[in-house]
Structure 1
Amino acid sequence: MKQDNEEEEAVEDWLAKLSASLVTDGKKSFLDSISQCLSCGYREMTKISLTTMVWFSSSLASVPDSEFQLPAFSVLISKLKENLENSEWIEHKILAATSLLNFSKIPDCMNIMLTMASEIAAPLSDLLEENRTAKELYALISQED
């Protein structure tokens, strides 16, 4: 059990350091670059970017009290919402919904989502029959069970 806790702490530390380097290193941040890719208009590039966002949002949500959670969400929310609302591909919408669900596990991010619940709920309602993640996020933001 002790080794499991040590391993878990090591993973959290690694995720925190990785998140920090992705958000702050270089002349142009990872978030700015991925944000541009989320709306580039190329199906595969957008899919890859959304898949990366699923991983990144999950990683950020698993690191307690990271100073990068809210800034990252603030940069990405409009692009994720745009893909959820306007993408012509169901897969893109589901990936965007999954990222938003991951971010909903961060209290500050969830508070922001609740302020725009009606904007997010409308496109999610189209996915309720297609995807359990969309159903779960819809229930969270519309305060339903």
Structure 2
Amino acid sequence: MKKLFYICMACLAVFGFASCEPEGMVDNTPVSGHPEQDVVGVYVGTWTRILEADTVSGEGTITLTADTTYVVNVEVSAVSAIGLSAMTSVANIAQDSHYGTKFYNSSANNGFGTIFRGGTTNMDNDEDELKISFIKTVKVGRKSYNYNYSFEGVKTKE
């Protein structure tokens, strides 16, 4: 019984060092260490605003520019189709992996007037994608409404 146990443990140890991915598939592309510079550009896509069962969409743009180290400026153009006015704010940014970044602003006193988060991805090295989301609370009389805003877009080619 002990021999069987040791054989099983040895097999598990060997399988523990096995790679799940062929070596040729591993991306060894180095990241720059400056994610705020990697994401700079204009992203064009679709804004969506959801209020309970009501969903409205419209085309819009977000411009990302480098500010300081690990800080990016997020500039949203106005989208009248969903009642979104132009906004600008800074966000902390960090490298998420070789394939993307994450950014956020956890202060409600920013240019968006609420906490927001987003990220960029480039999985196939073809086009950079940007996603951002936030919730805005609008008070009408005594009732408050939570509008869920989200954006999905791609970086324009220069």
Give the TM bin, normalised by the shorter chain: under 0.3
Bigger strand fraction: 2
Q: TM-score, normalised by structure 1?
A: 0.27
Structure of greater Rg: 2
TM-score by length of 2: 0.26
